[in-house]
Amino acid sequence: MNRYHVLTLFPEMIQNGLGTSITGRAIEKGAIGLEAVNIRDYAGNRYGKVDDYPYGGGAGMVMQAEPVYQAWKAVTEQIGRRARTIYVTPQGAVFTQAMAQELAKEEDLIFLCGHYEGVDERVLEEIVTDYVSIGDYVLTGGELPAMVMIDAISRMVPGVLSNETSAESESFQDGLLEYPQYSRPEEWHGRRVPEVLLSGHHARIEKWRLEQSVSRTRERRPDLYEAYQKEQESRFEIRFVNEGIRYRAKEGQTILEAEIAAGITPDAPCGGQGTCGKCQVAANGKSVLACQTKVEPGMRIDTGKKKRTRAQILASGHRREVPLAPGKLPRKVEHPLLAAVDVGSTT
């Protein structure tokens, strides 16, 4: 459960925006909590005035320190401790998927939305822990940025997305853009669905999708493509001999991580902590624990696996069943360290 507290002059904007669709359902289900606090309620005067002229002159008005402080203090007392407080501002660090993942770990998050020319600096110094922007363009207020951030953060929280949709960073997996998608009919406006997708040949489909992801990234996001190329160059080949799989491993990766990324379901009930001993493999003929051993160029790995049909993958608290045949595994594994536990076998 994640609780978001938004300090704003337009609470209904936040409630309406996030009360709809997926985030709205998550709030109803109790997977996340949302509170929009009207700073004007803490004005301390009967007109609800919260702004004044800037010292030193200049255009516009400045949001005064005391109403912002009182609103923040009320929320902080209700939480029972100082929570991370994000001031959404064009002068902040640009919000990323990595930040969303990081912030999703917090129990409570307070967002402060500015209006007018800004907020009195002194209250920011006392309450703000993070300054965050959503990009280099000028908006009329901080409410939409706060909503954007809360949307991105909340979809990383377990139970917010449906079971079929997994909380991975779709557009940025492997640093590549997603491949194109097609649905019925097979022909529309004279345009046919690419033949390979109708072939049922799983391996060819995967290859085609990867090629599409790469070319699409090169055309639309040359910045991401360059980073992807750099990353690929630092990779080297290893082989899983009994599965007959070649895999381009990353420097620093453990054998267990490489197994998962290559679509092999490893036996590692302890989740890679090195305590269960079940992930033992032969690496270049030497018996090692896959979770404790780094990959090396040209490494030959024998996982020595017996035939099993199903396994459970426990990934960051999510439980789902996956077939063990490598070709039928989900293409993407969203968590590098997950434990596969065999079902119905002796342990």
Residues in touch with ligand 9D3 (CB under 6 A)? 88-90, 114, 117-118, 133-135, 137-142, 145
Cα separation, 107 vs 224, in Å, equals 32
Q: How far is the CB of 119 from ligand 9D3 (least distance, A)?
A: 9
Q: How far is the CB of 167 from ligand 9D3 (least distance, A)?
A: 24
Cα separation, 239 vs 210, in Å, equals 20
Cβ distance to ligand 9D3 smaller for residue 138 or 203: 138
| Residues 234, 301 contacting (CB under 8 angstroms) | no
Q: How far is the CB of 8 from ligand 9D3 (least distance, A)?
A: 11
Q: How far is the CB of 281 from ligand 9D3 (least distance, A)?
A: 48
**SS3 call for 98:** helix
* Half-sphere exposure of residue 144: CA atoms within 13 angstroms, side-chain side: 8
Cβ distance to ligand 9D3 smaller for residue 90 or 269: 90
Cβ distance to ligand 9D3 smaller for residue 36 or 340: 36
Write the CB contacts of 193 (distance below 8 Å, at least 6 apart in sequence): 182, 186, 187
Q: How far is the CB of 60 from ligand 9D3 (least distance, A)?
A: 7
Cβ distance to ligand 9D3 smaller for residue 140 or 183: 140
Cα separation, 150 vs 318, in Å, equals 21
Cα separation, 174 vs 336, in Å, equals 12
Burial-class residue 256 by CB neighbours within 10 Å (0-12, 13-18, 19+): buried
Cβ-based neighbour number of residue 11 at 10 Å: 19
Cα separation, 265 vs 325, in Å, equals 9
Cβ distance to ligand 9D3 smaller for residue 133 or 254: 133
Find, among 179, 182, 172, 181, the residue nearest to 215 by Cα: 179
List C-alpha distances in Å: 236 to 31, 124, 231, 233, 287: 42, 48, 11, 8, 21
Cβ distance to ligand 9D3 smaller for residue 92 or 326: 92
| Residues 160, 1 contacting (CB under 8 angstroms) | no
Cβ distance to ligand 9D3 smaller for residue 140 or 346: 140
Q: How far is the CB of 105 from ligand 9D3 (least distance, A)?
A: 22
Q: How far is the CB of 258 from ligand 9D3 (least distance, A)?
A: 39
Cβ distance to ligand 9D3 smaller for residue 116 or 179: 116
Cβ distance to ligand 9D3 smaller for residue 114 or 272: 114
Find, among 305, 308, 296, the residue nearest to 255 by Cα: 296
Q: How far is the CB of 54 from ligand 9D3 (least distance, A)?
A: 11
Q: Which amino acid is at 112?
A: L
Q: How far is the CB of 91 from ligand 9D3 (least distance, A)?
A: 8
CA angle 114, 120, 121 (to 5 degrees): 105
